[in-house]
Structure 1
Amino acid sequence: MSPSDDDIPPADPAEALRLITEQQAEVSRRLNPDPRLFHWPWGVAWLVGFGLFFLRFGPDGRIFVDLPEWLPLTVLFVLLAAAGIITGGAGAKAYGQVVGASSQRGTWYGLAWFLGNVSLFAVNIKISPLLPDDLQGLLWAASAVGLVGVLLMAGGAIWLDRNLFWLGAWIIVLNVAGLIAGPGWHALIIALGGGGGLLLAGTIAALRRKS
C-alpha cells in the first residue's frame, strides 16, 4: 500500500516545525478547557448574588431595593450551585482522559475545596448564632470569599499559574478591604471587584488561549 500525501513527512523543516506546533496547540486546547467555563459562572454568581445583598442589606441597614429577605441568599446559593455544576462538568470532560501526577493533583485539589467548605460551614454554624444579624452575614460572606482566594492561590502555586495565583491574591485583598469597610460595603466590593474580576480574568485567559 503506497503512503498517502498525509503520511509523507514534509521536506521543509520549517513546515514540519509548524505542523508540530499546531498539533501541540490542538492537544493543549483539548486538555485545557475554555477558561471562561471556570471563571464566568462564578463571576456571574458573585456579581448578581452579592449585588442583591448590597441592594437589600446595604450599609448601616439601608435598603436600596425592598426585596424579600430570603431572595439574595437564595439567588446566591442557586447561582453558586450552577457554577459548581458547570465547572465540575468542564473539568471532568477535560481531565478525565489525563492520568498520572496531574490527575492526582487535580483530585486532591478538588478534595481540598470540598473539605475546606465543609469545615467553614461547620465553624460558621457554631459561631454565627452568637453574633448580630449584620455580622452573621459578614462572617459567612467574608470567610467563604477568603477561602476561595486562598484556594485559588494554592492552585496557582500547584500548577505554576501566575494569573490564577494573583487572582486569588486580588480576591483576598478585596475581602480584607470589605471587612474593614463593614457590612453592606463588603457585598458591594465583592460583587464588583470579585465578580467583575472573575469575569475579566476569564476573558483575558480565553483571549490568551486563542493567541
Structure 2
Amino acid sequence: MRFEQPKGRSVAMTYDHCLAIIRASAAMGCPSIGFVEALKFETGLRRIDVIGEWMPGDAGQPFHWRGLTAGNISKDLILTIETSKTHVGVVRDLTVLPLVVEAMKAYALPKLGPVVINEETGKPYYDNRYTKRFARVRETAGVPQYVWSMDSRAGAVTETIAATGSIERARDLATHTTAKMTERYARSNGLEEARQVAEAREKLRQCNAVKRV
C-alpha cells in the first residue's frame, strides 16, 4: 500500500513577521522566543540546533547536550557551530544581523551552558513547549496563525534568493547538501528572480554597447 506524500509548505516567515515576534516576546517577558526566531531567520539554522536537546548516551552513558551553548559564541559575538543534521560547520557574525541585534536588546546571552533558556522554568525548552509558547507570542504580535516557527528557515532562504538571485548562496546559508533541497524551502514563484536576471542582462547589453562605441 502506498500513501501519498503530504505537499510541502508554501509559507515563509517575513522580516516584518520576525520583527513583530521579537518585539512581542520582549513585551511579554519571554525574549528567548524572539531571539530564537531572529537567529533562525538571519542565519538559516534549524530550530533544534538553536534551542538544543538532551541526547541519550551510548550503552547506558549519561545524557549529553546537543545544541547551541555559550561556548559557541565568542566575546565579539561570532557564532561557530556544527549542525546536527548535515554536520556542516557554520560561522556567523551576529553583529551584522539586525534582527539578532534587536532581539539581544531584551535577551541576555548566558555565560555558561545552553544559550536558549525558558524564562518560566530557567531551563532549556522542550521542543513542544517552545512551539506552544511561540504560538502565544505570534498571536500577541498579530502574525497570522498560518505562519509557523519552522517557516523562519524558509524565510531565510526565500529572502536570500530574492536579495542575491543565487540559490547557491541560499543553499550555503541553510547548510543544505543540494540546491534541490534549497528549492523546496524557497517560497517564490520565480518572478522577482526573473526580473533580476532581466535587469542584469540589460545592464550587460548597455555595457557591451558602450564598448562598441
**Structure 1 length normalisation: TM-score?**
0.29
Q: Comparing both structures, which one devotes a greater share of its residues to strand?
A: 2
TM-score, normalised with respect to structure 2: 0.29
Structure whose CA Rg is larger: 1
Which is richer in helix?
A: 1
Higher relative contact order (CA 8 A, sep 6+): 1
